[in-house]
Amino acid sequence: MIEDKNTPRTQLSELGEFGLIEHLTQNFTISQPSTLYGIGDDAAVLDFNQKKCVLSTDLLVEGVHFDLAYVPLKHLGYKAVMVNLSDIYAMNATASQITVSIAVSNRFTLEALEELYEGIYAAAKLYNVDVIGGDTTSSTSGLIISITATGFAEEDAIVYRNGAKDGDLLVVTGDLGAAYLGLQVLEREKQVFKVNPNVQPDLDQYSYLIERQLKPEARKDMPGLLKALEVQPTSMIDISDGLSSEVIHLCTRSKVGVNLYEDKIPLDPAVISTSEEFNLNSTTVALNGGEDYELLFTIDQNDYPKIKANPNLTVIGHIVDEKSGIGLVTRANEKIELKAQGWNPIKE
Amino acid sequence: MIEDKNTPRTQLSELGEFGLIEHLTQNFTISQPSTLYGIGDDAAVLDFNQKKCVLSTDLLVEGVHFDLAYVPLKHLGYKAVMVNLSDIYAMNATASQITVSIAVSNRFTLEALEELYEGIYAAAKLYNVDVIGGDTTSSTSGLIISITATGFAEEDAIVYRNGAKDGDLLVVTGDLGAAYLGLQVLEREKQVFKVNPNVQPDLDQYSYLIERQLKPEARKDMPGLLKALEVQPTSMIDISDGLSSEVIHLCTRSKVGVNLYEDKIPLDPAVISTSEEFNLNSTTVALNGGEDYELLFTIDQNDYPKIKANPNLTVIGHIVDEKSGIGLVTRANEKIELKAQGWNPIKE
C-alpha cells in the first residue's frame, strides 16, 4: 500500500489498443493440442475433436468483486482465472483455454497491467490453459475483468447440477470458510492502516486464510482423481457463493432434498479459531462465506468405499426426497431449513 | 430522451443475481444442434462434432463505446451482438452461440435491462445463435457488456488474416463510412437537444446513416455466399476500426503490400452528401470511420469472374509485394502511404 515513487509509469495511451494487447500477451505461448490458433485474428480456432466443448464466463468488477486496497494486481489476475477454471472443473472437464478482456481507467499504468497479466500468466501456466484472445479497452472508472474459459470432456463424463438422486451421498472437496475469513482479516487491516499507516501487521497466524482469499486454487485435480477412483458423480457444482447456496442449487435443479450434517462440514483449525476471534459462528462462515472454489458433488452410495480413504473428500450429507426438504442437521440433531445467505453481487 | 415518469421501475436488488439472470433469459430458447446445454449450469456444453470451433470476445463500455443519451438500449443490445458475430463471419464460419455478461450500476432498472435483452434476443433470433450463458453483476458506474461468440467451420474453410499473396484482389462487402456519419449526426442532435429539448429533429435524410450506426448488421450472408460462388478467400478481416486500419492488419499479417484505389471505395450517396455537409472528405470517412461491420478479404485473381457480377462485393485494390508498401492510389493517380487513424479505445 506504500507507493514507490520510483516505479516507472507508462501511460496506456502511449501504446494504443493493439500495441497494448501485443505487449501484454507477448509471453503467452500455446501448449494445448486443442488450440489451433490463439491470439492474433478475428477469432481463435479450437479443435475439440470427438470431445464436447464446455464454456463458461465471468465478469469481475472493481469495487464489487475486489478492492485494490488489499488485493495485489498479480493475485487478482491469478484469482480471476481460478474463478473461471473452477466452473470448468465443476463440469468434470479439462480446462484448456481462456480469453481475457479488461477495461481500465487511465489511472492504471502499463506497469500495473503487466502485474495483472503476470498473475494471469502464472495461473494459465500452472493450470495448463492457453490464453487465446481477449479485448482491451478503457473504462470511465475502475478495472473490469471478463474471462471466458473453455474445456473439454467425453460426453458421458460431463456432470451437470441436476443428476442427484435420493440416497446419494453429498461430498465436498477441501475445507470451507477460510476465504471469507481471509477477507475479514484484510478488511480489518485496511481499517487499521487508515488510522495508522505505519503499523506493520503480523498476519502469520492468518496466512492460510489470507492465501485462500487472495490466491485460491481451483480443483484441477478432481476430474482426474474421480476418473482414477472410477467415480462418476451424479451431480456437481463449484462453491463460489457459499455452501448453502450451492447445496440449494444442486437440490433444486435435481428436484431432491438433503440432510446436511453440521458436524461433518470440513473446517481448517484456523477457521475455527479466527471465527471465535471475530465472534462469528464457524458453521455460518462455512455455509455462507463463499469464494472457496471447492467442488460439491453427489455420488451413488455404492461408490462410498472408493472415496472414503481420500483426505481431500468429505461426505457431509445425503440426498433425500424433495418433500423432505433441504435441511441442515445441527450438532444438537435438529433439522432446520437451509437458507442461502451467500454473497449477492446485485445489490444497492 | 424524454423520460416517461409512468414507466414502471423495478430495482435490480429486488431480484438478486440468480433471479435477474433467470428473468432476463427466460425467453431464450436453444435452436442450434451444436448446443447440448445452455444456461443453467456451471458451464454450457457444445458439440462441434468434426468441425472446428471459432471463438471471439468483445467488451463494450458505457462512455467509451456508446453513449446512452442517443443509443436506445434495445439497439445497444442488438449492436453488441453484431460486433461479436462479425468476428465469427470474418473467419468464414457459421456463428452458433453467444454468452452475454453485463455489469450495471443501480441507476438501471429491471425495465431498462429488459430493453437491452430484447435487442440481444432479436439479434440472436435473426442470426440464429443461442444465448448459452453469461454473468450479471453490479458496477460502480455505468453499463459494461461483455459478449463471447462461438461458431464453427470445416478446417479448410477457415480464413485467417495472413494468407493474402501478391496479385490477389482486395474485396469489400457493402459500403463504407455510413456508421461514422450516423454518429456525427447523432452527436450534433445531442448538442441541439441540450440547448433546446423541445426541438424535434427531422432526421429522414440521415436514416440510412443512423441505422448503420445504431443497428448495424453483420455479414452472416457472406460465408454462405462465398461457398455458393466457390470462392475461398485467401485472407479476411471484419471492418470495425475503419478500412485503413483493417487493410494494414491484413497486409502486415500477410507480409504483403497493397494498391488500394480511392475511386473504387464503395460509398452510399448519403455518405457523399453528408460528408459535404459536415465538411469532411468522404474518402477519409470511409477509410477511418469504422463500425461498418463489413468484411474485407482477398481472393485469387482467377476467382474474379465468380464475384464480379455480385452487387454486394466491390474490388477496391490488389495485393503487391511487401516492399511496394501499403498504399492508397488517389483519384489524381498518386500513390500515398495508407495510415491508420481508426478509433482507439485506449486513450486519455
**What confidence category does residue B321 fall into, taking pLDDT thresholds of 50, 70 and 90?**
very high
Residues of chain A positioned with their CB less than 8 A from the CB of B17: 344-346
Residues 114 through 133 of chain B touching chain A, CB cutoff 8 Å: 132-133
Q: Which amino acid is at A185?
A: V
Of A103 and B348, the structure prediction assigns the larger pLDDT to A103
Q: Could you give phi then psi for residue A58, rounded to 5 degrees?
A: -145, 150
Lowest-pLDDT range of A130-134, A165-169, A212-216, B6-10: B6-10
Rounded CA-CA distance B210/B178 in Å is: 8
Q: How far is B344 from chain A (nearest CA, A)?
A: 6
SS3 A328: strand
Asked if B150 contacts B84 with a C-beta cutoff of 8 angstroms, the reply is no
Res B15: pLDDT:
74
Nearest CA among A136, A135, A40, A129 for reference residue A87 = A129
* The pLDDT of residue B345 is above 80: no
Work out the burial of residue A348: count CB atoms within 10 Å of its CB; fewer than 13 is exposed, 13-18 middle, 19 or more buried.
exposed
Which residue on chain A is closest to B60 by alpha carbon? A137
The answer to whether B275 is annotated as binding is no
Instruction: Give chain B's mean pLDDT.
Output: 91
Asked if A96 contacts A54 with a C-beta cutoff of 8 angstroms, the reply is no
Tell if the CB–CB gap between B103 and A57 is shorter than 8 Å. no
**B199-211 burial: b if 16+ Cβ within 10 Å, else e:** eeeeeeebebbbe
Q: How far is A23 from chain B (nearest CA, A)?
A: 14
* The pLDDT of residue B184 is above 70: yes
Res B247: pLDDT:
97
The answer to whether A67 is annotated as binding is no
Q: How far is B47 from chain A (nearest CA, A)?
A: 5
Res B261: pLDDT:
98
Task: For B200-210, write each residue's pLDDT tens digit.
Answer: 777 889 999 99
Residues 280 through 319 of chain B touching chain A, CB cutoff 8 Å: none
Task: For A58-93, write each residue's pLDDT tens digit.
Answer: 999 999 899 888 889 999 999 999 999 999 999 999
Mean pLDDT of A93-99: 97
Tell if the CB–CB gap between B91 and A61 is shorter than 8 Å. no
* The pLDDT of residue B7 is above 70: no
B139 touches chain A (CB under 8 A): yes
Which residue on chain A is closest to B54 by alpha carbon? A45
Rounded CA-CA distance B110/B24 in Å is: 9
Q: How far is A21 from chain B (nearest CA, A)?
A: 11
Instruction: Give chain A's mean pLDDT.
Output: 91
Lowest-pLDDT range of A14-28, A314-328, B82-96, B117-131: A14-28
Asked if B264 contacts B323 with a C-beta cutoff of 8 angstroms, the reply is no
* The pLDDT of residue B51 is above 90: yes
* The pLDDT of residue B190 is above 90: no
Residues 199 through 258 of chain B touching chain A, CB cutoff 8 Å: 236-238, 253
Res B342: pLDDT:
56
Mean pLDDT of B48-77: 93
Q: Which of B55, B87, B244, B250 to mutate to test the interface with A (most CBs of A within 10 A)?
A: B55
Asked if B304 contacts B176 with a C-beta cutoff of 8 angstroms, the reply is no
Q: How far is A222 from chain B (nearest CA, A)?
A: 15
Tell if the CB–CB gap between A13 and B347 is shorter than 8 Å. yes
Res B75: pLDDT:
95
Res B347: pLDDT:
46
Of A206 and A12, the structure prediction assigns the larger pLDDT to A206
A56 touches chain B (CB under 8 A): yes
Mean pLDDT of B130-141: 89
**β strands within chain B, DSSP E:** 35-37, 44-46, 52-61, 94-104, 130-138, 144-153, 169-173, 235-239, 257-261, 294-299, 313-320, 326-329, 335-337
Rounded CA-CA distance A337/A260 in Å is: 10
A16 touches chain B (CB under 8 A): yes
Mean pLDDT of B164-184: 97
Tell if the CB–CB gap between A102 and B59 is shorter than 8 Å. yes
Tell if the CB–CB gap between B63 and A140 is shorter than 8 Å. yes
Of B348 and B209, the structure prediction assigns the larger pLDDT to B209
Res A199: pLDDT:
74
Tell if the CB–CB gap between A46 and B53 is shorter than 8 Å. yes
Percent of chain A whose predicted confidence (pLDDT) is above 90: 75
Instruction: Point out the residue among A48, A142, A346 whose CB comes nearest to the CB of B137.
Output: A346
Lowest-pLDDT range of A118-122, A137-141, A209-213, A322-326: A137-141
Res B248: pLDDT:
97
Instruction: Point out the residue among B46, B57, B150 whose CB comes nearest to the CB of A52.
Output: B46
Tell if the CB–CB gap between B57 and A146 is shorter than 8 Å. yes
Cα end-to-end distance, chain A, whole Å: 28
**What confidence category does residue A20 fall into, taking pLDDT thresholds of 50, 70 and 90?**
confident
Mean pLDDT of A17-33: 83
Domains of chain B: 12-157 (3.30.1330.10), 169-337 (3.90.650.10)
Lowest-pLDDT range of A173-177, A195-199, B312-316, B343-347: B343-347
What are the angstrom distances between the C-alpha of A98 and each of A149, B89, B112?
4, 21, 31
* The pLDDT of residue B9 is above 90: no
Tell if the CB–CB gap between A44 and B55 is shorter than 8 Å. yes
A11 touches chain B (CB under 8 A): yes
Mean pLDDT of A194-210: 85
Res A198: pLDDT:
78
* The pLDDT of residue A5 is above 80: no
Of B83 and A346, the structure prediction assigns the larger pLDDT to B83
* The pLDDT of residue B346 is above 80: no
What are the angstrom distances between the C-alpha of A167 and each of A253, A298, A300, A317, A320?
16, 10, 7, 10, 6
Res A156: pLDDT:
95
* The pLDDT of residue B57 is above 70: yes
Mean pLDDT of B74-91: 97
* The pLDDT of residue B187 is above 50: yes
The answer to whether B241 is annotated as binding is yes
Lowest-pLDDT range of A139-153, A181-195, B228-242, B275-289: A181-195
Res B189: pLDDT:
87
Mean pLDDT of B219-235: 97
Q: Which of B42, B137, B295 to mutate to test the interface with A (most CBs of A within 10 A)?
A: B42
Residues of chain B positioned with their CB less than 8 A from the CB of A12: 346
Res B11: pLDDT:
77
**What confidence category does residue B8 fall into, taking pLDDT thresholds of 50, 70 and 90?**
low
Phi-psi region of A291 (alpha: psi -120 to 50; beta: other; left: phi over 0): left
Instruction: Point out the residue among B46, B53, B346 whose CB comes nearest to the CB of A15.
Output: B346
What are the angstrom distances between the C-alpha of A292 and each of A58, A181, A267, B88, B232?
16, 11, 12, 36, 49
Tell if the CB–CB gap between B144 and A58 is shorter than 8 Å. no
Nearest CA among B235, B273, B267, B215 for reference residue B74 = B215
The answer to whether A324 is annotated as binding is no
Of A20 and B230, the structure prediction assigns the larger pLDDT to B230
**What confidence category does residue A140 fall into, taking pLDDT thresholds of 50, 70 and 90?**
confident
Tell if the CB–CB gap between B37 and A160 is shorter than 8 Å. yes
| Cell digits of residue B163 | 494468407
Tell if the CB–CB gap between B139 and A135 is shorter than 8 Å. no
